[in-house]
Structure 1
């Protein structure tokens, strides 16, 4: 999708972003995007670390295997 972008396209895109948001708000916008990405990465790591523990708990909780007596 972005394979056909060249230097002029990027400059025009940057100019439009500057016009829309203004130079004063761009640093705060970049900071907000960075914080959001950091939070998202942290949540993904936390979820990945907790996933095996949840599987073990689900497997061990209340599902007893029936005992079959070999000599009836």
Structure 2
């Protein structure tokens, strides 16, 4: 019986210590730079945009329209 009480206390302690650490991994702390599409005006992440001649585009379609 004493073994189960100690085991339960250790598990509860481990849960209390690990719980905040697991929550911080789920949050998105990075801030992404956004740029306006030169063709349609939609804001898009720099990582997901298409860059041509110093201008950002949200899609290949806008890139083709803006290149004209």
Query: Computing the radius of gyration over CA atoms, which structure comes out larger, 1 or 2?
Result: 1
The structure where helix makes up a greater share of residues is 1
TM-score, with structure 1 as normaliser:
0.40
